[in-house]
């Protein structure tokens, strides 16, 4: 049984992705003038933050699932910002592919955890 958030793989992956994308974005000259820069930093940070907050509710599976679902949305949003920044020429295709793959992996692994929790606790919906 996982007792600390740092033992949770999706937390580790999302924290790493958040730090990497923020570092990369901040290396772009005048990044603060690009609206998507702030958005991707915020959305990628939201992934691990929601996983951590949900982990605090892990003894309440519906609540944990709710936070994990928000994290999935933030991961998908981050991937969308990668595509937008790429189409605007701020991120090269090779870098974008790496970041997009990372966010997709986080979404898939988090979805797998949600599905596991739903099955284990016989939860068919997210409603309270």
Helices (H), ranges, 27-92: 35-55, 61-87
Which pLDDT score is estimated for 52? 98
Alpha-carbon separation of residue 127 from 18, 113, 123 (angstroms): 29, 17, 9
**Segments of the chain with pLDDT less than 50:** none
Domain locations along the chain: 5-120
Mean pLDDT value across the chain: 95
Q: Which residues have a Cβ under 8 Å from the Cβ of 11 and sit 6 or more positions away?
A: 5, 48, 51, 52, 55
**Structure-token pair, residue 71:** 């994290």
Question: Is the Cβ–Cβ distance between 73 and 42 less than 8 Å?
Answer: no
| Burial classification of residue 58, based on how many CB atoms lie within 10 Å of its CB (0-12 exposed, 13-18 middle, 19 or more buried) | middle
- What CATH number has the domain spanning 5-120? 1.20.1440.60
Which pLDDT score is estimated for 1? 82
């Amino acid at each position: 049984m996982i007792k600390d958030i740092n033992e949770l793989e999706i937390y580790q992956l999302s924290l790493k992705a958040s730090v990497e994308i923020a570092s990369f974005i901040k290396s772009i000259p005048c990044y603060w003038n690009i609206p998507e820069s702030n958005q991707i930093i915020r959305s990628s940070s939201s992934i691990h933050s929601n996983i951590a907050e949900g982990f605090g509710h892990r003894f309440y599976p519906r609540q944990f699932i709710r936070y994990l679902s928000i994290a999935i949305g933030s991961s998908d949003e981050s991937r969308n910002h990668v595509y937008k920044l790429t189409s605007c020429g701020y991120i090269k295709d090779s870098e974008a592919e790496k970041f997009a793959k990372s966010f997709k992996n986080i979404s898939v692994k988090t979805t797998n955890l949600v599905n596991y929790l739903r099955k284990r606790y016989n939860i068919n919906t997210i409603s309270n």
